[in-house]
Amino acid sequence: MKISDLLEQTFFSLLANKARSGLTVLGIVIGIGSVIAMVSIGQGASGTITSSIESLGSNLLMVSPGMQRGVGQQVSAGRGGAQTLTLDDAEAITEQIEGVKTVAPQYSTRLQITAKGTNTNTTVYGVTDTYGEVRNVEIGSGSFITPAHNNAKSKVAVLGPTTAEDLFGEGVDPIGQTVRFSNMDFKVVGVTAAKGGSGMSNADDAIYIPLSTAQQYISGNNRVGMINIQGESQEILEQMEADITALLMTRHKITDEASIDFQIMNQADIVESASSIAGTLTILLASIAGISLLVGGIGIMNMMLTTVTERTREIGLRKAVGAKRGDIAVQFLAEAVTLTFVGGVVGTGAGGLASWAVEKFGNTATEISLASVLLAFGVSAVIGIVFGYYPAARAAKMDPITALRYE
Amino acid sequence: MIECKNITKIYQTGASEAAKVLKGVSFSVDDGEFVAIIGPSGSGKSTLMHILGMLDTPTSGDYFLDGKNVAGYSDDDLAEIRKNKIGFVFQSFNLLPRATVLRNVCLPLVYAGVDKTAREDRARAALACAGLGPEYHQHRTNQLSGGQMQRVAIARALVNNPSIILADEPTGNLDTKTGEIVMETFQSLNETQGHTIILITHEPDIAEYADRIIAVRDGMIVDDRKNQNKKIGIPGVADRKQI
């Protein structure tokens, strides 16, 4: 039997029962479509999380103060509450740790900011000139905080674009204007480029001032809130983390690891754990969708069994005129695979449409990967073969006389 | 061409019961013969036809086709022989109801691997032999009358040019007049094209169209005679379009 004849017969048989074939295909369409849509939502979420973490900077270690807890005390002020890190710690890290590319200590606090009758509440960061490089903050117009600003404890400020808009309105150049907080006027010298970040910490809604200024006039001491360290490569971050822990333990005169007064976050760890959460989410969504695909496959099997029973006499006749077992089996298998294949094509389209709709109206990023489309086709073909095999084998094994006499 | 030696067929009907349908049948059929196998229902004639047509295998005994013993052939081997050497005409026509006449007739050629165009040419020729005009070729078979359906079935049996045509009660579902026309068609196929025809029937009238009549009763051949008063179908006996 030729392939062209096989295809012709397959379409002929399937079109003979349009409604039934259509409904069976619908089962597969829903199954494949939901797999594609669910996986695209899961992967989109994973992509969003990863890129938002990576926008913080690359090869980043963040040292922040640990819990403030005195010897024998049970009361904890919470993580980051202690003021244990100093500028000297940052300098020691710069000098003594191998693999350090840049160190950027920072101090941050939330303050009410006013400017010409408008006001907003945002985070004020005391930073050095290296901050931009380490945390991927780029300057949009004007200049960033310079070493000279820090040396002079200048009262200058660099605004995030969102803050600039909040204070001065859209389209107004704030450079040269003044903003006021902590009872001091700060001259605006620059606006950072929009990063479009959201959630965790929004770099667009921030004010950057020299660290020395912040320590002198706002905090009143030489503590820093966090030390950002950029390593030379991803691979050495773990070693650096250990070295920094050892260094800071020595500097803080801590011998017991249980009472460490600082904590180090490795960006790679955050990315890893976030993407493992997103991965689990994707698997969860895909397996829910997979169940509907399985149900669709059972629908195929059900239809094929009905078809085989209905066409028993036809099978008998085909055998009488010389069809071999293989010819019969291939014919029914081809019908099942065609159904799932058509379902796979339409389902991929439907899934793509659904994920487009989610992205458009649900404000959730989605991502359709070639792999998930190929997987969908592979799975639908396998489903056709698996669920079509039993009915086809049943048809092939029929005894021609019994089949011909079947009423 | 066909030689049966002591063929028996036993159906296991229950755990300990068995129905002995054929009890040692021996006969042979030569090339180009027109044989009618006649017997009442339950005589075993249908089982005999299934064995002759290789749709079934005997419990014991030997069946030689063209000198070859087909005992021990697999299902697929038997299908191969059916495809090349045997054409079937059934009482209930067994046409694909939704397919066109042409498509039905082409069916055996599909399994023989014949090209589509060659297939349709041969199908048209076979339909002409069976006496169904080209105006019906694109009709669906469920739109045809019984006589027309049987002609389609005959054309299908002829299309791969088999040496043997096995007809199982081909007139059973037809009225007398139409039945006569179908029998006349078989006669002309036998005489003009040399097909060996084996006809199974329970009607003595129909058997009279054959050259030789084998009577079967209770699983045994009770009579095997040359038909002395062969009925001759009058060529062109009826306008075929009317059937």
Instruction: Write down the ipTM of this complex.
Output: 0.90
pTM above 0.90, yes or no: no
- Interface contact flag, B50 A12, Cβ < 8 Å: no
Answer whether B82 sits within 8 Å of A320, measured CB to CB: yes
pLDDT at B104 exceeding the cut of 60: yes
Q: From A192, A189, A87, select the one nearest A133 (Cα to Cα).
A: A192
Which residue is closest to A327 within chain B, CA to CA?
B111
pLDDT digits (tens, 9 = 90+) for A107-124: 988 899 998 888 899 999
Minimum CA–CA partner of B106 in chain A: A321
Minimum distance, in Å, between the CA of residue B214 and any CA atom of chain A: 23
Nearest to A327 among B88, B90, B111 (CB): B111
Q: Which of the four pLDDT bands, split at 50, 70 and 90, describes residue B181?
A: confident
Q: At what angle do helices A325-361 and A312-320 cross, to 10 degrees?
A: 130
Rounded CA gap, B36 and B186, in Å?
A: 12
Q: Do B50 and A401 touch (CB under 8 A)?
A: yes
Q: Assess whether pLDDT exceeds 60 at residue B235.
A: no
User: Is A169 buried (19+), middle (13-18) or exposed (0-12) by CB count in 10 A?
Assistant: exposed
pLDDT of A173 reads 87
Say if A7 is an interface residue toward chain B (CB within 8 Å).
no
pLDDT of amino acid B241 = 41
Q: Tell me the domain boundaries of chain B.
A: 32-54+75-239
Q: Kindly write down the DSSP assignment for every residue of B188-232, as one continuous string.
A: HHHHHH--EEEEEES-HHHHTTSSEEEEEETTEEEEEEE-TT---
CATH architecture for segment(s) B32-54+75-239: 3-Layer(aba) Sandwich (3.40)
Instruction: Report the share of chain B in percent with pLDDT over 70.
Output: 95
A201: tokens are 């910490």
Q: How far is A399 from chain B (nearest CA, A)?
A: 8
pLDDT value, residue A373: 85
CB spacing of A314 vs B96 below 8 angstroms: yes
Mean pLDDT across B56-64: 91
**What is the structure's pLDDT at B155?**
93
pLDDT score, position A372: 82
Residue A104: per-residue pLDDT: 92
Low-confidence ranges of chain A (pLDDT < 70): 67-83, 196-201
